[in-house]
Structures are given as C-alpha cells and as structure tokens.
Amino acid sequence: MSDLKPPRLKNDCFALPPGVDWTPVDDALARLKERLTCVVGRDNVHVHGALGRVLATEAVAVRSNPPAANSAVDGYGFAHASTGDGDQELPLVDGRAAAGAPFDSTVPAGHAIRILTGAVLPAGVDTVVLEEDVTSDGERIAFEGPIRQGANARKAGEDVEAGDVALAAGTRLGPAELALLSATGVTHVSAFQRLRIGVLSTGDELAAPEETTDPTRTYDANRPMLLSLVEDWRMTPVDLGHVPDDRDVLRARLNKGVENCDVILTSGGASAGDEDHVSALLGEAGVRGDWRIALKPGRPLALGVWEGVPVFGLPGNPVAALICTLIFARPAFGVLGGEGWHVPQGFMVPAAFEKQKKPGRREYLRARMLSDGSVKVFHSEGSGRISGLAWADGVVELPDGALHVTPGTPVRYIPYASFR
C-alpha cells in the first residue's frame, strides 16, 4: 500500500483565500449599474408588433378612455334631477341606447331610456339604474330611490384623458400596456430595438445528444436554457454555438459574435484553471474586470468587454449559469436595452425549510412556493442538479451574513417570473 493519501477535506472548502477580497453581490450590482449604458437604437413600431419592446419616449394618449360618457351596466338611464327618495316611476322613451348604436336625440326630463353596457349616455341622461333593481311593463319603469347621481355611469376620460402620458419612457410593453395604447388611440410608438444577446457554450466535453452517447461527453444544457431565457424575455437570442477549450477558436468566435450581438453570454471556462480560456482571453485583451463575487452558486464570473461588447463569462455549471444570468445579467440587460436597471420583485414569505447559513456570501436556493404561501427549497444544493432548476419556480435569496433559517423564518423569495 502506498503512503500517498488523498488530500484532507478542508473544514470549509469554500473558505476564501487569505487576503482576497470578495465583492459582495450588492457592490457588484452597483458597479454594473454605474458602468453600463443603453446600447440599442430605436425605431418607430406599430403597437401590434410591439410586445416586449421598451418605450424610448413616453406614449401620450391620442384620445380619452373612455372617449365619451357611457353606461357601466345594462339598465335604464335618466337625468338624476328627475328622481328623488322613495318609490320612483318614469315613462320610457321609444328606442334604446346600445354599445355602437347610440340614441341620438335627447331624453326629456322625467323620462327614462333602456340602455345597455357600453352605450354612450344620450343627452339628458347622467345616471343609470341597474336592470335588476327595476320593474317594467315595457312602457314605464319603477324603482326605489334615491339613486346616486352618476350611478353606473362612466365619465369621459375618467381612466385616461387625451394628452395624458399613458406610459412612461422605459416601460416594457406587455399585453396590458398594448391594451392601454390601443384604447387611447396610440398606433405607433418609438421603441428601443430588441437587445441582441449572443449565447456561446465552451468546453471540450460538450456535445449534443444527436452527436454521441459517449458518457465522457456532457450534453450542452446551458445553450438551450440561455437562448430560451432570452426569448422568454422578448430579447433577441443569437446562437453562437459551441467552441472547444481552444483560445484561438474562442477568440475567432467572439470576434464573429460582436458583429451582430449587443452583449454576449458565454458559459464555462470562467475560472482561473488551465482550461479556463474565457477568463484568460478577456484578461489578455486587458479588459477583464475583477469580479470575484461572494455568491453561491456561481463564483467564477468573468466580466469583460470584447470589441466594445460586454461579455458575461458565466460559470459552466448550469445551476450557477442560470443564477448568475438572473442576478447579474438580467438587470444589466435592462440598462443595455433602454429599460433601465431591472430589480426583480421579491417577496418576504415564511420558510418551509431549515438551514444554517454561514456568513460571507449571498446564497440563492432553488425554491418552490407552496399553496399556503410558504416556500420550500430543493432537497439538494448540489450545483450539478439541473432537476432542481426545473423543480423550482423561483429562488430564495439568503442575505450575505449568517442566518439560521427555521420553518416560519421570513425569507426573500423571487419567482422566476420576476426576472422577465
């Protein structure tokens, strides 16, 4: 038997090397925020094709919503002044007012008119009584007063007035924003071009399932994950493929990538090891920032600028790659794409788990919200456990300091959807 012994496990194998200052997550984010600027152009687009676009200038309502006073219910309209307290009886005028079929003469004082939801209030009508609160023989209606003036009627412009700012510059247009623009007569907006995000995988071991079943090879999980994430965020994914651990090939691919990308996400090779060509190459170009960030998972994060294009050198590990993308790249994409710094909405909710967290770095745990509003974390913190990413519907962010979480401790849960 040889006396060659495997190295002893260190007490804390994540202990920081002496003298090395790890940048806290918040400092790293503040630096990113301060250094980045908008890099995309703008163009005039039709609202129908604007989903996910970011407004470059505020959108001003062309017309009011609603454009005219109208009824909020099916019922009967009249002048409030014609009514009072106690039992009321009003004769009906001939005809009716319906949405898209207005009544175009005046309803005389002391009369009522059949009116349907969305119908413009005819002249002489300022109040509507709900159909359910009325009895009618077709000639007259009876109901109990008093009815509040303006009841069941929507005023012109009560939602938005023509000339109001409907949406501020920097707003990302989702379905609700498109509804608002459409309702207020805005057909075209000035929007930033979608941020083009290159995604490149690095590593000799990587392959596609179609290529090989060789168990020494690893199927590329990061590229489909990151490309689809970009698509989900309604930015433009650019597939830069896969390169081996070869500095020349990587250099050539980055040179090609910067031609049609505004920012590049690489994964793998971001540490300081022999085969960590991304960080080495960014360093060689003299443009690598010193980004040793105190977070788990995902310590090796190389940030640099290649021919003017920011490069996020993500760790290869898919769990770490996703976390770093959500936490660092997403807010940065906001600035680069004209939306401004994007802070994901988190929620303080009770923990449904127990964990003794050490001080010194922020931690992100794969998490899932339960129906009682508490949050559970994945049973393993193993950073190669991609199944945990799929199991989760968000992350729990534990602060930089030490923390003993027990069931019921409030923790910050950030749903994946908050990063959109």
Q: Which residues bind ligand AMP (CB under 6 A)?
A: 201, 203, 205-206, 218, 220-223, 267-271, 315-318
Residue 232 binding: pick among Mg ion, ligand AMP, none (C-beta 5-8 Å cut-off by kind): none
Query: Minimum Å distance from CB 223 to ligand AMP?
Result: 6
- Write out the two tokens for 296: 């788990």
Query: Could you count the other beta carbons within 10 Å of the beta carbon of residue 13?
Result: 6
Query: Minimum Å distance from CB 203 to ligand AMP?
Result: 5
How far is the C-alpha of 381 from the C-alpha of 360, rounded, in Å? Answer: 17
Q: Does 268 bind Mg ion (CB under 5 A)?
A: yes
Nearer to Mg ion, 73 or 221 (CB): 221
Nearer to ligand AMP, 69 or 207 (CB): 207
Nearer to ligand AMP, 127 or 271 (CB): 271
Instruction: Out of 203, 297, 304, 318, name the contact with Mg ion by CB under 5 A.
Output: 203
Determine the interface stretch with Mg ion among 164-172, 190-198, 199-207, 357-365 (rule: CB under 5 A).
199-207
Query: Minimum Å distance from CB 281 to Mg ion?
Result: 13
Nearer to ligand AMP, 123 or 272 (CB): 272
How far is the C-alpha of 279 from the C-alpha of 314, rounded, in Å? Answer: 10
Q: Does 198 bind Mg ion (CB under 5 A)?
A: no
Please report, in angstroms and rounded to a whole number, the separation of the first and last CA atoms in the chain. 58
Residue 388 binding: pick among Mg ion, ligand AMP, none (C-beta 5-8 Å cut-off by kind): none
Query: Minimum Å distance from CB 323 to ligand AMP?
Result: 13
Nearer to Mg ion, 64 or 279 (CB): 279
Residue 296 binding: pick among Mg ion, ligand AMP, none (C-beta 5-8 Å cut-off by kind): none
Query: Minimum Å distance from CB 316 to ligand AMP?
Result: 2
Query: Minimum Å distance from CB 13 to Mg ion?
Result: 20
Residue 206 binding: pick among ligand AMP, Mg ion, none (C-beta 5-8 Å cut-off by kind): ligand AMP
Nearer to ligand AMP, 238 or 270 (CB): 270
Query: Could you count the other beta carbons within 10 Å of the beta carbon of residue 165?
Result: 11
Nearer to ligand AMP, 186 or 264 (CB): 264
Residue closest to ligand AMP (Cβ): 316
Residue 218 binding: pick among Mg ion, ligand AMP, none (C-beta 5-8 Å cut-off by kind): ligand AMP
**Cβ-contact 315, 271 below 8 angstroms:** yes
Nearer to ligand AMP, 296 or 376 (CB): 296
Q: Does 318 bind Mg ion (CB under 5 A)?
A: no
Nearer to ligand AMP, 128 or 199 (CB): 199
Query: Minimum Å distance from CB 303 to Mg ion?
Result: 18
Q: Does 300 bind Mg ion (CB under 5 A)?
A: no
3-state secondary structure the chain: CCCCCCCCCCCCCCCCCCCCCCECHHHHHHHHHHHCCCCCCEEEEEHHHCCCCEECCCEECCCCECCCCEECCCEEEECHHHCCCEEEEEEEEEEEEECCECCCCCCCCCCEEEECCCCECCCCCCEEEEHHHCEECCCEEEEEECCCCCCCEECCCCCECCCCEEECCCCECCHHHHHHHHHCCCCEEEEECCCEEEEEEECCCEECCCCCCCCCCEECCHHHHHHHHHHHCCCEEEEEEEECCCHHHHHHHHHHHCCCCCEEEEECCCCCCCCCHHHHHHHHCCCCCCCEECEECCCECEEEEECCEEEEEECCCHHHHHHHHHHHHHHHHHHHCCCCCCCCCCEEEEECCCEEECCCCEEEEEEEECCCCCEEECCCCCCCCHHHHHHCCEEEEECCCCEEECCCCEEEEEEHHHHC
Residue 331 binding: pick among ligand AMP, Mg ion, none (C-beta 5-8 Å cut-off by kind): none
- Write out the two tokens for 3: 């006396």
Query: Which residues are near Mg ion by CB under 5 A?
Result: 203, 268-269, 316
